[in-house]
Amino acid sequence: MKISVVIPAYNEEENLPEIARQVKLNLTGRYEREVIFVDDGSSDGTAQVLHQLCAADPELHYVSLSRNFGHQSALRAGLAYATGDCVISLDADLQHPPALLPELLAQWVAGYDIVYTRRRDDTREPWLKRRTSRAFYETMNTLSSVNFEPGTADYRLLDRRVVDVIQASPDIDLFLRGFIHWVGFRQKRIDYTPEPRFRGKTKYTVRKMLKLALSGITSFSVRPLHLATLAGAVVSGLAFLYAFYALFILVFTDRAVPGWASVLLSVLFIGGIQLLVLGIIGEYLGKLFVQAKGRPPYLVQATDAALGTPDRNPGHRWAAEVPTEPTSEK
Ligand code: UDP
Ligand code: MG
């Protein structure tokens, strides 16, 4: 039995030695282990630190992406290289406590294919972050057919067959948190209390969070399109009724000069709805456009020498020859 651990890292140089130490500390026993760090186009010393760590320890490996592709794509890159019978993913900043690893494994051994974690509400997190995170899950659940649980991030264990399903998925913009719920299999949840970030600050900017939210909604639901249709129907229904009213005024009264306010309001209202609906359609169309181009979700720039080439790696079809030394060493 082999266990793989995948850790995406974007400018996490200060956290890497500590997370590597703690992960190894908590994964003891009769299993073979590998820890794969994915350097998501970091601009700090992450690549150098990884190079040193991996040179000193044959159980540690790294994959460097050609630029910053985002957390979800970095995770996928890590999954592509992982060769374990199960793969555990966690953040590099130690907010996902490695002390939980034995419990994840125990549930896997007990027969679960997906062991995911849910963080208890952490009052140390900024209020805004907690609030927006909760609002995100509420919106997701209203707008999609998959049930998303608040507080379930990317700290989870996946059995090999689930990893293979993810690898086989042609989605370029794969929203893993939704996909994991969608695939089914035997799932088990573990609750945990998150730790504060070890070093550095969050790499999830508001822009990245919005992008993730939008990707989540448009990946798992066409309900916004139905809502658009519904809004269109309601507005035209109202306009139809208003036409009757206008006709009534015109024919039966001498108040035939209605105020500009009602005209202006209805024009603005209908204009607004139209823009919104066009925007929603545009989001889905844009998704189709990106998917139609068939670009991989990430490109690999370098890996450490000991890491094999995965058979099914979307990033490899494009970059046929991946050098196994970081470019900074050339
Ligand atoms: N991350 C990444 N690429 C990005 C942003 C983040 O690989 O573009 C990684 C980051 O290094 C960390 C994990 O994703 O290991 C979660 O990010 P972070 O801790 O900054 O998010 P937060 O916990 O604040 O939501
Ligand atoms: Mg974090």
- The four Cα atoms 101, 106, 108, 109 give a dihedral, to 10 degrees, of 140
Quick check: CB of 46 below 6 Å from ligand 1? no
Q: What is the pLDDT of residues 235-247, one digit of tens each?
A: 888 888 888 887 8
Most informative mutation of 18, 72, 203 for ligand 1 (most atoms within 8 A of CB): 203
Residue located nearest, by CA, to atom 8 of ligand 1: 70
Q: What is the pLDDT of residues 141-171, one digit of tens each?
A: 787 766 777 777 889 999 999 998 988 888 7
In this structure, is the dihedral angle defined by the CA atoms of residues 128, 215, 295 and 114, taken in order, positive or negative?
Answer: positive
| Relative orientation angle of helices 71-81 and 176-183, to the nearest 10 degrees | 50
Intervals of the chain under pLDDT 70: 122-125, 145-146, 256-261, 308-330
The two structure tokens encoding residue 131: 């609030």
Q: Which ligand is nearest to the CA of 9?
A: 1
Most informative mutation of 12, 91, 122 for ligand 1 (most atoms within 8 A of CB): 91
Of 201, 155, 199, the C-alpha closest to 180 is: 155
Tell me the CA–centroid distance for residue 164 and ligand 2, in Å.
26
The two structure tokens encoding residue 64: 């460097």
**What does DSSP say about strands 60-65 and 32-39: parallel, antiparallel, or unpaired?**
parallel
The residue count for the chain: 330
- Which string of b and e fits 246-280 if b means at least 16 CB within 10 Å? eeeeeeeeeeeeeeeeeeeeeeeeeeebeeebeeb
Tell me the CA–centroid distance for residue 36 and ligand 2, in Å.
18
Average pLDDT score over the chain: 82
Q: What local confidence, expressed as pLDDT, does residue 329 receive? A: 44
Tell me the CA–centroid distance for residue 240 and ligand 1, in Å.
51
Q: What local confidence, expressed as pLDDT, does residue 321 receive? A: 45
- Rounded Cα distance between 69 and 123, Å, is 30
Quick check: CB of 39 below 6 Å from ligand 1? no
Q: Which ligand is nearest to the CA of 97?
A: 2
DSSP string, 246-257: HHHHHHH-S---
Quick check: CB of 91 below 6 Å from ligand 1? yes
Tell me the CA–centroid distance for residue 47 and ligand 1, in Å.
16
Beta strands in 86-169 (DSSP E): 86-89, 114-119, 156-159
Strand order in the sheet with 2-9: 187-192, 114-119, 156-159, 86-89, 2-9, 32-39, 60-65, 300-303
Q: What local confidence, expressed as pLDDT, does residue 330 receive? A: 42
In this structure, is the dihedral angle defined by the CA atoms of residues 47, 51, 57 and 58, taken in order, positive or negative?
Answer: positive
Most informative mutation of 10, 176, 195 for ligand 1 (most atoms within 8 A of CB): 10
- Rounded Cα distance between 246 and 306, Å, is 78
The two structure tokens encoding residue 315: 């990033």
Beta strands in the chain (DSSP E): 2-9, 32-39, 60-65, 86-89, 114-119, 156-159, 187-192, 300-303
Residue located nearest, by CA, to atom 23 of ligand 1: 202
- Burial class from Cβ neighbours inside 10 Å (0-12, 13-18, 19+) for residue 282 reads exposed
Spatial neighbors of 322 by CB under 8 A, at least 6 apart, are 300, 301, 302, 303, 309, 316
